[in-house]
Amino acid sequence: MSKSRLHQLSELGQSVWIDYLSREMLRTGELERLMRDDAVVGITSNPTIFQKAISQGERYDEQIRACLGETDDPKEIFWRLAEKDVGDACDVLRPVWDAGQGRDGYVSIEVDPNLAGDTDRTIAEARRLHAEIDRPNLFVKIPATKAGLPAIEEMIASGKNINVTLIFSLERYAEVAEAYIRGLERLVESGGDPSQVASVASFFVSRVDTETDKRLDELGGHDDLKGKLAIANAKLAYQRYKELFSGDRWAPLGAKGATTQRCLWASTSTKNPDYRDVMYVEELIGPETVNTMPEETIRAFQDHGEVALTLEHGLEEAKRLFEQLAEAGIDYGDVVRVLEEEGVQKFADSFAELLDGIRAKRGELAAA
C-alpha cells in the first residue's frame, strides 16, 4: 500500500501535529485514527478550540456536574475540563514520545491569555499546569510577548517544556530562541539535564498575509506582492534557526543532549479562498520542523498536497520581497506589532467567550 502524503511529509523530517482537541476525539478513537492514517504525532490547543469542543454535545456534562459540587467558578471548571482532556491526550501520545525519545508526542495547553503582559503570573500558571497535568510530554504555551520572554527562560531553566506561541516577527523569534538557550544554560549551571526539556517556537503564518494583503489593498496596485510575506517570513526564520542552533554557543548544550527549539508553523489554513488551500503546508516543508494543521487542512493535503523539500527554496526572493514591500509602503515592524496585539486580544476574547459558555452550561445543568 502506498504511503499517504502526510506520511511522506513526515519522512522528510517534518512532524505533523493537529491544532484541535476535544473529548469527542478522545472517546471515539479519532485521535488514534489520526495517528495511524494521517501521521499525527502531536496536538496543540487554545481557548477558541476548547470553547468549540465544550459548547458542542454532552461529553463534558458529567464532569461539569461533578465540579458544581465543589465550585461554581467558570475558570476553575474550565481548567479541570481542559486538564482532563490534555492529560488523556498525553497518555494516548505517550508511546510516540517514548519511541522518539521526547522529540514528538506532545500535547499543548495554554496559560490564561489575560496574563500575556504579566511575567510573574505567567510563570506561576505555567508551573501550576505542569504540576496538575504532570506528564513528560506536556507543553505549556506561553505567548512571545515582551513579558512572556523572561517567563519562557525561567520555565526552561527549571526544566519544564514550553511551546512559545504567537510569534510573528523575525526579531522576536531571535529573542525567543535566546530565551530558550539562556534557560538551558541556566539549567545546566544548576546541575540539570538539558536532554529532558523540550520547546517549539510557534510562528503564526497565514495571519501575516491577511494583514499585509489588507494593507496592500489600501495602497492599491501591488497585487504581485500579495500572499507572499507569510511564507517568506517563515523561510527566513528557518535560516535563523539553523544559525542559532549551531556554532560555538550551542555546541556544549548539544553535547549534553539538549534538543533544538524547532520552528512550528501554526495558523496554516488558508484564509483567502483565492489562494491554494494547502500552500502554507506545501511551501514550508523541511527537516526539524513541525506543522500543526486544522482538520480541513489535513484532509486537503492528504487529497492533493504536493510533497517536496521546499523550505529552503527561494531564499533570495524571500529577502527581496521584504525590500519590495518596504518600497511599496508596507511597514513590516508595524504589521507584526499589530498582529501580536491582535493575537493576544483574540485569545483573550475567546477565553471570555469560553467562560461565558461554561456559565451557560453550568446554568442548564443546575436547572435540569
Neighbour tally for 308: CB within 10 Å? 12
Please say whether the beta carbons of 140 and 160 come within 8 A.
yes
Tens digit of each residue's pLDDT (9 = 90 or more) over 80-103: 999 999 999 999 999 999 999 999
The pLDDT of residue 120 is: 98
β-strands 199-204, 262-266 pairing: parallel
Mind listing the pLDDT tens digit for each residue in 279-307?
999 999 999 999 999 999 999 999 999 99
Long-range contacts, stretch 72-78, CB < 8 angstroms, 24+ apart: 72/362, 74/355, 74/356, 74/358, 74/359, 74/362, 75/112, 75/355, 77/358, 77/362, 78/50, 78/54, 78/354, 78/355, 78/358
Please write down the HEC assignment for all residues of 78-134.
HHHHHHHHHHHHHHHHHHHHHHCCCCCCEEEEECCHHHCCCHHHHHHHHHHHHHHHC
* Angstrom distance (rounded) from CA 175 to CA 149: 7
| H helical segments located in 134-169 | 148-157
Per-residue pLDDT, averaged over 169-177, amounts to: 98
- Neighbour-count burial for 235-250, b at 16+ CB within 10 Å, e otherwise: bbbbeebeebbeeeeb
pLDDT exceeds cutoff 90 at 105: yes
Q: In sequence order, what are the beta bridge partners of 16?
A: 40, 291
Give tens-digit pLDDT for 336-353: 999 999 999 999 999 999
Q: Is the pLDDT of residue 178 over 90?
A: yes
Cα separation of 117 and 7, whole Å? 39
Say which CATH number the domain at 28 has.
Answer: 3.20.20.70
pLDDT bucket at 1, cuts 50 / 70 / 90: low
309 pLDDT band, cuts 50/70/90, is very high
| 183-206 residue pLDDT tens | 999 999 999 999 999 999 999 999
pTM metric for this prediction: 0.96
- Given a cut of 90, is residue 225 above it in pLDDT? yes
Catalytic positions are 141
Find where cell 535563523 sits: 240
Query: Are the beta carbons of 161 and 114 closer than 8 angstroms?
Result: no
- Report the alpha-carbon distance of residue 123 to residue 69 in Å, rounded: 30
Q: Across residues 151-172, what is the average pLDDT?
A: 98
Average pLDDT over all residues of the chain = 95
Paired residues of 140 in beta bridges:
109, 162
Q: Which domain holds residue 165?
A: 5-367
**Count of domains in the chain?**
1
Q: Residues 6 or more apart from 250 whose CB is under 8 A from it? A: 181, 244, 258, 260
Q: Is pLDDT above 80 for 2?
A: no
Cα gap 100→98, rounded to integer Å: 6
pLDDT tens sequence across 35-86: 999 999 999 988 888 888 887 778 999 999 999 889 989 999 999 999 999 9
Instruction: Map residue 192 onto helix, strand or coil.
Output: coil
